[in-house]
Amino acid sequence: MQATRFPRRSFLAISGWLAVAWSKVSGDEVLYVGGTISKLPEATEGRMDIVNEERLVFSSDKGGFEILYKHIKTLEYGQKAGRRVGVAIVITVWALFSKKRKHFLTIGFDDVAGKAQGVVLEIAKGRAKTFIAIIEARSGKKVEYESDEAKKHVHG
């Protein structure tokens, strides 16, 4: 009897989604859940530099990206990935029904060529208020909240 082999590609896809489902960011860590940044793998942990006054800079050992504040078009904050960016991002059933609350910031922006882009970031619970205040001030855009509970989390 021949053993059934589990395809390596399927294993990698499942393990990537499980990493998103069970990951928890803390402190200055940010998780790039997914989006249109093709050179960066989904579920990449890194750091977000919000000190630069012209651009957000995400960096990790797997790569990074920059978003000019003046090119940000939409911001959405909630406990699930945003629906407004025209980006197909799937979050597993485990992530959606997880008892741990995850905090997502979805950013819709134009790249330097004027092409629409989007990223979904998981940010640490204690950093949401700071991130949002800085990004709103520098981009001139107001965040949309996925729910009243998400808004209360940021504004107390």
* Structure-block tokens of residue 15: 């393990």
Show the 3-state SS of the chain. Answer: CCCCCCCHHHHHHHHHHHHHHHCCCCCCEEEEEEECCCCCCCCEEEEEECCCCCEEEEEECCEEEEEEHHHEEEEEEECCCCCCCCCCCCCCHHHHCCCCCCEEEEEEEECCCCCEEEEEEEECHHHHHHHHHHHHHHHCCCCEECCHHHHHHHHC
In the chain, domain spans: 24-155
Angle, CA of 58, 31 and 121, to the nearest 5°: 80
Closest CA to 56 of 130, 146, 155, 152: 130
- pLDDT tens per residue across all 156 residues of the chain: 555 444 444 334 444 444 444 445 556 689 999 999 999 999 999 999 989 999 999 999 999 999 999 999 999 999 865 444 444 344 444 444 545 678 999 999 999 999 999 999 999 888 899 999 999 999 999 999 999 988 988 887
Q: What is the dotted CATH code of the domain comprising 24-155?
A: 2.30.29.30
Spatial strand order of the sheet with 44-49 comes to: 63-68, 55-60, 44-49, 29-35, 116-123, 103-110, 72-78, 144-145
Structure pTM?
A: 0.74
